[in-house]
Amino acid sequence: MYAYDELDRTLINERVSEFRDQVKRRLSGELTEDEFKMLRLQNGVYLQLHAYMFRVAIPYGTLSSRQLRALARVARRYDRGYGHFTTRQNIQYNWIKLSELPDALADLAEVGIHAMQTSGNNMRNVTSDQWAGVAPGEVEDPRIWSEILRQHTTLHPEFSFLPRKFKIAITASEHDRAAIKVHDIGLRLHKNADGETGFEVLVGGGLGRTPFIAKTIKPFVHGRDILSYVEAILRVYNQYGRRDNIYKARIKILVHELGIEKFAKEVDEEWKQMGHSALTLDHSVIEEVRSRFSYPVYEKLPHMPDELKQAAHDPLFERWRKNSVAPHKVQGYSIVTLSLKPVGGPPGDATADQMDAVADLADKYSFGEIRVGHEQNLVLPHVAKRDLPQLWKALDRIGLATPNVNLVTDIIACPGLDYCSLANARSIPIAQELTRRFANHDTAEMIGRLHINISGCINACGHHHVGHIGILGVEKNGEEFYQITIGGRADENAQMGALIGPAVPYAEVADVIEDIVEAYLALRDRPEELFVDTVKRLGVEPFKERVYATR
């Protein structure tokens, strides 16, 4: 965990006072709605269909139990007793009152949580691998760098009024769990031939109505230069990014229009001009940030404790363990994913009671630490294997032991038309129906890894382009229709899915997905061949035929 010091706390409190003043000026009419809109957006406050929505940052997905309890308290005190975890390591509250927002922020500030730059045309919450620091084989803990970037991007005096939003994600593992290739800047931590730490820098990825996979702009930027290099990219973007059309304002469009070589040249020139600047990170500065991350003192534990051997006789426990428990870098420990995707539930929602209970379990079993992943699930990152059976029982009691992690019902979905004023169609009921269709765990396990992503509009908050199956809500003559894509992925081999054919009406979506899955089961050449690999091998045609033959 990163420990905020007096300076971090002071800044957050100063932000709360500033926002309190801004809300006061809005309520008194001193600020117009147009003027206030920008200010509230800088602080994660959207006006949705029914109420204000409040988005709170969970930088690089790391939470302490104390912080999670504070999130629960906000859900209870200012909202309707639940929160929604998003695809960018944020939590959203959907029913907040404007007049109470400053108090909610003040409550969160007490535990070092804020909502700065969770929306607006600025540098957004820096995200990372939810397994950072515990995944086997990691280059090093990417959260050190995430925190350095978090500080650097917070209230940046030059880049707080960019052409459009700007998202940075960092990974330090070969397997990319942070979806860096669909970010404005993706950073892959690795070591050069001399063993020095640095980054492959990718730029111009993004979804929305014009999706692009990020391109490598520089294969290696030394760690000490990462802030100046990022600043050079931002400066080029701030000056040349389009401001005449909101849909063409993201950096991906600039990179696309200039071409990556020309864009890289512009950035390099700017970077050279910056030279050795105050942004260069001395070793001691990096170590200072590193020193404020605390790590658990792990016990020396056996690889296979007796408790686990005994519990293995319980098929329900085994099913959960095989699905939701992953290897930890320390022997005797595990990384446990808590599915927020119960059958029939809205993906990513957690009640205040669940949050409190998870905080208690984190204290008991995970050194007080919780992670939030972009798949909208929670993680307990340091669970001793001997505790797994007890933990499983406890999770099951609070509805967080659904063994569907990475399976067909582990659906990523945006809030859609049930909440969002941008949406064309509903997302949540589609997800709920699909979880009911595939509620049988044996079937889901037989299908294997399959990511379904649902967005209620072209803004693609549900990342539908990179779902193995992507579902995009569109509006046709006042009715909800859905375009289906297949073959997308968000990992290190990221690519966009391909459209299978004409959009289908709301009522048929679940049937169509069932058809696609059945086609896959018939077409895969062996049970281990994942859905996305079958699509890669055969293309969309056989799936298209299956879906549209009878429609």
Give the separation between CA 450 and CA 405, rounded to whole angstroms: 10
CB of 29 to another protein, least distance (A): 12
- Closer residue to another protein, CB minimum distance, 11 or 258: 11
Return the structure tokens found at 459.
């803004």
Other beta carbons within 10 angstroms of residue 390's beta carbon come to: 15
CB of 540 to another protein, least distance (A): 41
Q: How far apart are the first and last CA of the chain?
A: 53
CB of 338 to another protein, least distance (A): 33
- Closer residue to another protein, CB minimum distance, 41 or 383: 41
- Closer residue to another protein, CB minimum distance, 60 or 159: 159
Which residue shows structure tokens 């099913």?
Answer: 319
Other beta carbons within 10 angstroms of residue 330's beta carbon come to: 16
- Closer residue to another protein, CB minimum distance, 192 or 239: 239
- Closer residue to another protein, CB minimum distance, 151 or 351: 151
CB of 10 to another protein, least distance (A): 5
Q: Are the beta carbons of 443 and 426 closer than 8 angstroms?
A: no
CB of 472 to another protein, least distance (A): 28
CB of 231 to another protein, least distance (A): 9
Interface with another protein by CB under 8 A: which residues?
Answer: 5, 7-8, 10-11, 14, 17-18, 22, 30, 35, 38-39, 121, 151-152, 154-162, 235, 238-239, 243, 273, 277-279, 284-285, 288-289
- Closer residue to another protein, CB minimum distance, 160 or 424: 160
- Closer residue to another protein, CB minimum distance, 139 or 274: 274
Residue 71 neighbours by CB under 8 Å, 6+ apart:
56, 63, 83, 91, 108, 113, 355
**Cα 79 from chain centre:** 22
Query: In this structure, which long-range contacts are made by residues 263-266, counting pairs with CB atoms below 8 Å and at least 24 apart in sequence?
Result: 263/203, 263/204, 263/217, 263/236, 264/217, 264/218, 266/236, 266/240
CB of 500 to another protein, least distance (A): 39
Give the separation between CA 127 and CA 183, rounded to whole angstroms: 10
CB of 57 to another protein, least distance (A): 15
CB of 155 to another protein, least distance (A): 7
The enclosing H or E element of 274 equals helix 260-274
Phi-psi category of residue 89: left, alpha or beta, with phi > 0 → left and psi -120 to 50 → alpha: left
Residue 506 neighbours by CB under 8 Å, 6+ apart:
425, 426, 430, 479, 480, 481, 482
Give the separation between CA 399 and CA 401, rounded to whole angstroms: 6
Written as one letter, the residue type at 302 is P
CA angle 91, 95, 100 (to 5 degrees): 95
SS3 at position 259? coil
CB of 292 to another protein, least distance (A): 9
- Closer residue to another protein, CB minimum distance, 169 or 289: 289
- Closer residue to another protein, CB minimum distance, 18 or 110: 18
- Closer residue to another protein, CB minimum distance, 121 or 424: 121
Which residue shows structure tokens 């959260």?
Answer: 143
The enclosing H or E element of 413 equals strand 412-413
Give the separation between CA 53 and CA 118, rounded to whole angstroms: 11
